Structure 1
């Protein structure tokens, strides 16, 4: 009888441990993972806005939540931005990308943008950002979900790259950008990012 009770106690302990591990495992998903070359011609001819690269349709994760507030709260979580700069003109020109969330339904300006941060060289650049602190994040009705994303190439003074007098310092460039959305109370876990979709090539 004592042995049975010990086995039962051990089973319960293992069950609770596994349950706890499941609960504490970060809730996160890849919003998009794109690889593309961006030329000055691309920037000048992108529509409706110049210097924009549009992430739409099957370039976005089809399994992304329709409601970012419930049952899992991504709206008040964080986003992990991974920017891999594969090619860039010589000269170490300070460069950045604005990454804009375009919702199915917005208010006021109707969209909001994060930034990758300024970089000068090729390589991988990563950062975590609070979803409640970026520019115009309150202009998005998060319960209605995200329709598309706009990636905007700029200099370190927020000027669109195509408007610069020296565009040859920005174009052409080739990057891979990946956004991972992490739920409120969780921490980005790179070990979970094992099912990234194949990068879309342009």
Structure 2
């Protein structure tokens, strides 16, 4: 009986270390934003300062996102997990994608960087992991200064300037309704879908 009591204090530090390690692994990701919205041709034409942009700002961003994405947890060299749920899309199966752009508190050169969602033709759920060091202009962001807002840009499949509002057949793109969620995962960690908010945030009522 006495031996058991002596063993428990000796084992306890290792147990606490294990629990702390598990908790840390789970904590090394965060939801950057989770928005559900309808986007019409009129909204795309009149979005300011740039057409075809849906702006994720203020309370739509996670207020607890880190100010420094390089330390003490390294998100800059991790991955972004994007989940795009296309709830409504015009018929016709037109190839569509979204550019997801990080707007930093401090930039350099062009001052922002973007990755693209998968191309889709119909409603459904589309997910992918994007290395934070691989997407377009990721080096133009001073990651130690954090991210201010996000710009979501609806496009066709023709390349960087294929903004959907410019198409003469814009009825193939608008109106659309989507839910988009971006989860930032730290370097060396793996995306955990349990963190995904469910049910989705009803940002259309905000």
State the TM-score, normalizing by the size of structure 1: 0.93
How far apart, in 2, do the equivalents of 1:196 and 1:91 lie?
29
Give the alignment partner of residue 169 of structure 2, picking from 153, 157, 166.
Answer: 166
Task: Note the C-alpha offset of 1:55.
Answer: 0.7
Alignment RMSD (CA, Å): 1.8
* Alpha-carbon shift at residue 165 of structure 1 (Å): 1.8
Q: How far is the alpha carbon of 1:164 from its aligned partner?
A: 1.1
| 1:199 and 2:202 aligned | yes
Structure-1 separation of matches of 2:130 and 2:3? 53
Is contact 1:54–1:151 with CA below 8 Å preserved after alignment?
Answer: yes
Aligned to 2:69: 68
Q: Look up the SS of the partner of 1:157 in the other structure.
A: coil
Question: Quick check: 1:157 aligned with 2:158?
Answer: yes
The one-character-per-residue Cα deviations of 1:106-132 (angstroms, maximum 9, x if unpaired) are: 001000001111001101111111000
| 1:22 CA drift (Å) | 2.6
Specify the SS of the correspondent of 1:201. helix
Whether the aligned pair in 2 keeps the contact of 1:26 and 1:186 (CA below 8 Å) is: no
- Name segments (4+ residues, structure 1) moved above 4 Å: 194-197
Question: Aligned pair in 2 of structure 1 residues 195, 87: CA closer, same or farther (>3 Å)?
Answer: closer
Q: CA deviation at 1:20?
A: 3.3
Q: Give the drift of 1:163.
A: 1.1
1:55 aligns with 2:56: yes
Which moved further from structure 2: 118-127 or 13-22?
Answer: 13-22
Contact 2:61–2:149 (CA under 8 A) maintained in structure 1: yes
Q: Secondary structure at the match of 2:168?
A: coil
Q: What's the CA shift for 1:197?
A: 7.0
User: What's the counterpart of residue 143 of structure 1?
Assistant: 144
Unpaired segments of 5 or more residues in structure 2?
none
Unaligned runs of at least 5 residues, structure 1: none
CA distance in 2, matches of 1:98, 1:55: 13
The number of equivalent residue pairs is 202
Q: Is the 8 A contact 2:36 2:201 kept in 1?
A: no
